[in-house]
Amino acid sequence: MRRNATKINEFKQFLGRQEFAKWCDQLLAQALYNIRPERHGDLSRWQAAVDNLPALSTDYKIYDGSRISIGEVSEILPADKQQLKKSLMELHPWRKGPYELFGLHVDSEWRSDWKWDRLAAHLPDMNGQNVLDVGCGNGYHCWRMLGCGANYVLGIDPSVKFLIQHQAINQYARETRFDFLPLASEHLPEDLAYFDTVFSMGVIYHRRTPQNHLVELRNAMVTGGTLILETLIVDEAANGLLMPASRYAQMSNVWFIPTVSKLTEELTKAKFINIRCVDINETSMNEQRSTDWMKFYSLKNHLNATNPAITIEGYPRPKRAILIANGA
């Protein structure tokens, strides 16, 4: 009971926002259900790691650089820095980043800043916008959205580990313009129609029903809003869809990978207009790799050792596209 009360406290900032008042009870119930302790054996250990973070405060916050940087080296004592590292390491693996906290570089598996660099030139002017990031991971790109002048960012992701990593970062950022809820896109209200720009990056291939995902994204935005859709793609496939028999690059939850033209068709069906593909990029082993902060296998180990053009399952190696569209 005490834990539940604490968690509600963690969502208090979101619950206080009048624009979401109509759906608050429903979203809170779903969020609490998603993080129920019986589903996550390690939750109390992770929560303890956050509780053990050194108490520090800072006004130094940089959201528009490659590293999300909070706190300066001069603001932390060596013993606290050790404790900071120990607590953050308890939250291993750090897949999304990089971050820099009081001079401590959290070198994540993904150079998430590279994805941002590829899309930045194509983004709408987000100054003063309300922005939704669906499947936001630990929130790395949400900070970048604030760095672009967004008025408010809501990040949702069903992964509790990512929620906890966000809480660790936000313990120091204390950001009032960014909320993170442990929700999946299918938990968003159908009549939301609130966000000016909606991001879905690296999510659609995890959905068994991609068309439903696109409709959820459209429902979340204002009329004429902008969708940024980033996904794995293939150059060609029967009927425009590669459907891995089981794993793809060792991931067990990749249900289909479309061609750009199939994706464009699906976006059109979901009533998006002005659809354009602004970037295609083959993921490199420098962008996704093992580091001290993500010690498990990474892309290198998921490709065929003698022919890195294919995954170990024999599919084309990961290539990703960014599509931008507007809600009609």
Smallest separation (angstroms) from ligand SAM to the CB of 114 = 10
| CA gyration radius, the chain | 20
**Pairing assessment for the beta strands 319-327 and 272-282 based on DSSP bridges:** antiparallel
DSSP state string for 278-318: EEEEEPPTTTB--BTTB-S--HHHHB-SS-TTBBTTSSBPP
Q: How many residues touch ligand SAM (CB under 6 A)? A: 20
Strand order in the sheet with 195-201: 178-181, 152-156, 130-134, 195-201, 221-233, 319-327, 272-282
* 171 phi and psi angles, rounded to 5 deg: -55, -30
Note whether 262 binds ligand SAM by CB under 6 A: no
Q: In the structure encoding, which two tokens stand for residue 326, read together?
A: 């507007």
**Residues of the chain by 3-state class (helix, strand, coil), percent to 5:** 35, 25, 40
Smallest separation (angstroms) from ligand SAM to the CB of 86 = 25
Span of 47-55, 155-163, 235-243, 266-274 interacting with ligand SAM by CB under 6 A: 155-163
Span of 49-57, 133-141, 235-243, 285-293 interacting with ligand SAM by CB under 6 A: 133-141
Smallest separation (angstroms) from ligand SAM to the CB of 116 = 9
| Cα(305)–Cα(134) distance, integer angstroms | 34
Note whether 109 binds ligand SAM by CB under 6 A: no
Among candidates 147, 189, 142, 192, which has minimal Cα distance to 165? 142
Interface pick for ligand SAM out of 71, 98, 147, 158 (rule CB under 6 A): 158
Between 84 and 303, CB nearer to ligand SAM:
303
CA distances from 212 to 117, 205, 226, 241, 257 (A): 29, 12, 18, 16, 16
Between 207 and 262, CB nearer to ligand SAM:
207
Note whether 228 binds ligand SAM by CB under 6 A: no
Note whether 137 binds ligand SAM by CB under 6 A: yes
Note whether 144 binds ligand SAM by CB under 6 A: no
Smallest separation (angstroms) from ligand SAM to the CB of 27 = 14
Among candidates 122, 133, 259, 258, which has minimal Cα distance to 195? 133
Span of 30-38, 101-109, 129-137, 275-283 interacting with ligand SAM by CB under 6 A: 129-137
Interface pick for ligand SAM out of 43, 84, 203, 249 (rule CB under 6 A): 203
Confirm if 49 and 168 have CB atoms less than 8 A apart. Answer: yes
Note whether 97 binds ligand SAM by CB under 6 A: no
Interface pick for ligand SAM out of 202, 210, 225, 240 (rule CB under 6 A): 202
Q: Which residues bind ligand SAM (CB under 6 A)?
A: 96, 112, 115, 134-137, 156-159, 162, 184-186, 201-203, 206-207
